[in-house]
Amino acid sequence: MSRQDPRYHVNLFRPKEGHMKDEVLIILIVLIGWAVVTFGFQILLAFSRGRGIGDLLTGLTLFGLPLHFWFTGQFLPLWFIILCLVFNVYIDRITAYHSRKRDRTYE
């Protein structure tokens, strides 16, 4: 790969300095939040069945729903909205920051 101009390397895990580095950081944070809350919760629920935490998750109720049902059916869509909101606010901020630094990366 060394014979190619390294300035033109695009790789999610090796972002360029500046706007792209900040962008990739927030992307990875949001993706971790997305994966852990969606799939981590289901795995926790499945493996804690019949034990303390599992009983708590299915036993407690919120709005009349068992906690796990409320979490998956109602909180997860809300969580995704929050993630998108956080992402947009952050991207708006780094865009403003880097355009002040004359790094015209955007639009």
Q: Exactly one of 49, 56, 60, 93 binds another protein (CB under 8 A); which one?
A: 49
**Which two three-digit tokens encode residue 105?**
């990366």
* 59 CB-near residues (< 8 Å, 6+ apart): 66, 67
Bridge partners of 61? 66
104 binds another protein (CB under 8 A): yes
Q: Exactly one of 7, 50, 51, 100 binds another protein (CB under 8 A); which one?
A: 7
Site for another protein in 19-38 (CB under 8 A): 19-20, 26-27, 30-31, 34, 38
Closest approach of another protein to the CB of residue 52, in Å? 16
Q: Exactly one of 36, 60, 73, 97 binds another protein (CB under 8 A); which one?
A: 73
